[in-house]
């Protein structure tokens, strides 16, 4: 989830922003997917590590089987099929602001919403818990549904809950979301003096990382503060992932990864899954967005104040709509901006350490030109072919690298459990 990150950032930021640069509507021609690119794309195992669709399941009653042509969402079974998306890690994200005291309860509700969708569409979608499950779903032509928890606050400082989430099928956890929790600092509020920080991970935070290693739950360092990243790298016994993060050298968002971090992930054997969000992949877009951020935040505030004064609950569908309207005032960057990030990470970290972490359904109205849903994923394959990437390398980016890391994380887990059983 990204839009709310921006909102929080806006609320805590006291910087004065310059006027938004005027950006001409470029209207770059849409990418045409060649027969060769389509064939390559369809022969690859395509894995995306971050979609916020569970909030739609739970809050909007959205059905993933929807064929509604007016639905602006990024993910549906039909869109996944058209884009040959074969495995999706659905994000279990609990808003820390509105769920005080109920993090676990809401986490369980979101997990339940994913299972309900799989139960409703058993012919097209199946819950998956391992790389082998993904392979099996692939052979059965079903979407493999996996889950990742976005934000360590979901465990309520309780290692037992972490294990329960693993047992329910959660296979990665982002150590923090935009909020610093009681054991991990976040990049989202690291400059806010009102927030109690820990200089990275606390001792308990390090225990969480090691328990995730033991369980076989991937350690996700997206969203965390830089020091938390380095502490996680120093602590983990297994490769880490960044489930949805881009490169800071190209787009100066604190949530993106520096080249030094990219190299550290490579050394650790992990993978950085590139976030598609315009504010993280295009510097012009990011600056324009920062310039209008106070006004956008004020519009959301006005809406929430109005509801509070009427004693009504805040409706996220409306907040998303308001945020999207503001976002759509800025012209979309070309697909090239996204491909530049993939390319940069492939060059700095190496071709074995980059993949796709779209942030679909968390970044409504703010994906690059041509990428309107999962159905457009073949355009990425075309763009990578156009840049001279080999078929083998493209398959690594589309899912091969993530599958390798997932298997290695399982391997470390088996070793740790065997050692403990002796
Ligand atoms: Zn996120």
CA of 363 to the centre of ligand 1 (A): 9
CA of 272 to the centre of ligand 1 (A): 14
CA of 267 to the centre of ligand 1 (A): 24
pLDDT of residue 25: 44
pLDDT of residue 192: 96
CA of 4 to the centre of ligand 1 (A): 9
Average of per-residue pLDDT across 317-332: 86
Q: How confident is the model at residue 28 (pLDDT cuts 50, 70, 90)?
A: low
Over residues 99-113, the pLDDT tens digits come to: 999 999 999 999 999
Rg (CA), the chain: 20
CA of 288 to the centre of ligand 1 (A): 20
pLDDT of residue 15: 34
CA of 102 to the centre of ligand 1 (A): 20
For residue 410, pLDDT over 70 is answered with yes
For residue 12, pLDDT over 50 is answered with no
CA of 333 to the centre of ligand 1 (A): 20
Average of per-residue pLDDT across 35-62: 97
CA of 417 to the centre of ligand 1 (A): 31
CA of 273 to the centre of ligand 1 (A): 12
pLDDT of residue 422: 76
CA of 362 to the centre of ligand 1 (A): 7
Over residues 140-192, the pLDDT tens digits come to: 999 999 999 999 999 999 999 999 999 999 999 999 999 999 999 999 999 99
pLDDT of residue 324: 83
Average of per-residue pLDDT across 279-297: 94
What CA–CA distance (Å, rounded) separates 185 from 229? 9
pLDDT of residue 23: 37
What CA–CA distance (Å, rounded) separates 408 from 79? 30
Q: How confident is the model at residue 417 (pLDDT cuts 50, 70, 90)?
A: very high
Least confident range of 50-59, 251-260, 294-303: 294-303
Burial pattern 384-419, b for ≥16 Cβ within 10 A else e, equals bbeeebeeebbbbbbbbbbbbbbebbbebbeebeee
Cβ-contact 264, 242 below 8 angstroms = no
CA of 173 to the centre of ligand 1 (A): 11
pLDDT of residue 6: 47
Q: How confident is the model at residue 19 (pLDDT cuts 50, 70, 90)?
A: very low
DSSP labels for 307-372? HHHTTPPP-HHHHHHHHHHHHTTSPPPPHHHHHHHHHHHHHHT-GGGEEE---BTTSTT-S-TT-S
CA of 419 to the centre of ligand 1 (A): 35
CA of 309 to the centre of ligand 1 (A): 30
CA of 52 to the centre of ligand 1 (A): 8
CA of 313 to the centre of ligand 1 (A): 24
CA of 142 to the centre of ligand 1 (A): 26
Least confident range of 3-12, 101-110, 246-255, 375-384: 3-12
Return the higher-pLDDT residue of 74 and 321: 74
Nearest to 376 by CA among 128, 131, 91, 46: 46
This prediction's pTM: 0.91
Q: How confident is the model at residue 27 (pLDDT cuts 50, 70, 90)?
A: low
Q: How many CA atoms lie within 13 A of 84 on its CB side?
A: 19
CA of 155 to the centre of ligand 1 (A): 17
pLDDT of residue 328: 86
Over residues 76-98, the pLDDT tens digits come to: 999 999 999 999 999 999 999 98
CA of 388 to the centre of ligand 1 (A): 30
Give me the chain's average pLDDT, please. Answer: 92
Report whether CATH 3.20.20.140 matches the domain 3-9+32-421. Answer: yes
Over residues 195-208, the pLDDT tens digits come to: 999 999 999 999 99
CA of 152 to the centre of ligand 1 (A): 12
């Amino acid at each position: 989830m990204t839009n709310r990150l921006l909102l929080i950032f806006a609320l805590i930021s006291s910087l004065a922003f310059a006027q938004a640069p005027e950006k001409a509507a470029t209207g770059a021609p849409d990418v045409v997917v060649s027969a060769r690119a389509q064939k390559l794309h369809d022969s690859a195992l395509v894995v995306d590590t971050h979609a916020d669709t569970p909030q739609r399941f739970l809050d909007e009653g959205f059905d993933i089987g929807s064929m509604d042509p007016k639905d602006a969402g990024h993910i549906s079974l039909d869109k996944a099929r058209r884009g040959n998306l074969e495995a999706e890690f659905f994000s279990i994200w609990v808003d820390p602001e509105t769920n005080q005291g109920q993090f676990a309860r809401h986490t369980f509700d979101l997990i339940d919403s994913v299972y309900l969708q799989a139960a409703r569409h058993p012919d097209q979608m199946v819950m998956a818990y391992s790389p082998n499950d993904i392979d099996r779903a692939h052979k059965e032509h079903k979407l493999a549904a996996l889950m990742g928890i976005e934000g360590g606050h979901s465990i309520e400082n309780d290692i037992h809950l972490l294990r329960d989430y693993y047992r329910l099928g959660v296979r990665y956890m982002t150590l923090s979301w935009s909020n610093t929790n009681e054991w991990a600092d976040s990049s989202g509020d690291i400059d806010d003096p009102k927030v109690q920080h820990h200089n990275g991970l606390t001792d308990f935070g390090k225990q969480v990382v090691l328990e995730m290693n033991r369980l076989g739950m991937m350690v996700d360092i997206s969203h965390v503060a830089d020091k938390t990243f380095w502490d996680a790298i120093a602590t983990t016994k297994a490769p880490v992932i960044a489930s949805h993060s881009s490169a800071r050298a190209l787009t100066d968002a604190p949530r993106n990864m520096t080249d030094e971090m990219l190299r550290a992930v490579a050394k650790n054997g992990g993978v950085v899954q590139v976030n598609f969000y315009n504010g993280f992949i295009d510097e012009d877009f990011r600056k324009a967005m920062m310039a209008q951020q106070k006004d956008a935040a004020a519009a959301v505030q006005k809406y929430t104040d109005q509801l509070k004064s009427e004693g009504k609950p805040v409706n996220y569908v409306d907040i998303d709509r308001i945020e999207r309207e503001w976002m759509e005032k800025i012209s979309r960057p070309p697909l090239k901006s996204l491909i530049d990030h993939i390319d940069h990470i492939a060059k700095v970290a190496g071709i074995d350490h980059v993949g796709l972490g779209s942030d679909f359904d968390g970044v409504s109205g703010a994906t690059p030109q041509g990428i309107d849903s999962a159905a457009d994923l073949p355009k990425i394959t075309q763009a990578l072919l156009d840049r001279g990437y080999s078929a083998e390398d493209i398959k690594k980016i589309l899912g091969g690298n993530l599958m390798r890391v997932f298997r290695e994380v399982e391997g470390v887990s088996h070793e740790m459990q065997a050692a403990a059983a002796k």
